[in-house]
Copies of this chain bind each other. A is one copy, B any other.
């Protein structure tokens, strides 16, 4: 095991470390499901929860509420349909929209899945204790969101050009 070069870079390695942490979490999530014998993907839980609250939503509505691009939503939900957790119908008033909702199977399995998710939530909350991790996410979203990072960098860049 050699040194972690990225960590040594300070703020210079920020994005790369964030990426690694993120990938780590996804891998861990996959391991967790495997361990518990659950056949769902790490990114499905938000869709489950969203449709539990809002019953019937279109692709676009889901994309807007999760701040995802619509093709991503199509990919995720298609897999969930294939796995039997979602079914799609058509909107009465608009023939373009495809309305998605949870299936019987989804509703039956949900309580068990929610137990897992709640455990994960509690674990994270306890690990961070008083550290205000959510406040940190807020800050990052505000800092990097919509051209934030580009502006930030270009400002510094132009400052140095003089």
Q: Which of A25, A35, A117, A148 has the most CB of B within 10 A?
A: A25
C-alpha spacing A133/B138, complex, angstroms: 12
Known contacts A145-B24, A157-B116; is-contact A16 B2 (Cβ 8 Å): no
Q: Does A125 belong to the interface (CB within 8 Å)?
A: yes
Contact B143 A127 (CB under 8 A): yes
C-alpha spacing A82/B157, complex, angstroms: 28
Contact A119 B153 (CB under 8 A): yes
A interface residues (Cβ-Cβ under 8 A, vs B): 1-6, 9-22, 24-26, 28-29, 31-32, 35-36, 42-43, 46, 49-50, 53, 61, 64-68, 115-128, 131, 133-134, 136-137, 139-141, 143-145, 147-150, 152-157, 160
A161 to chain B, nearest CB (A): 9
Contact A31 B116 (CB under 8 A): no
Contact B156 A122 (CB under 8 A): yes
List B contacts of A153 (CB < 8 A): 32, 116, 119-120, 123
A80 to chain B, nearest CB (A): 15
List B contacts of A147 (CB < 8 A): 28, 31
C-alpha spacing A46/B143, complex, angstroms: 22
List B contacts of A14 (CB < 8 A): 121, 124, 133-134, 137
List B contacts of A123 (CB < 8 A): 149, 152-153, 155-156
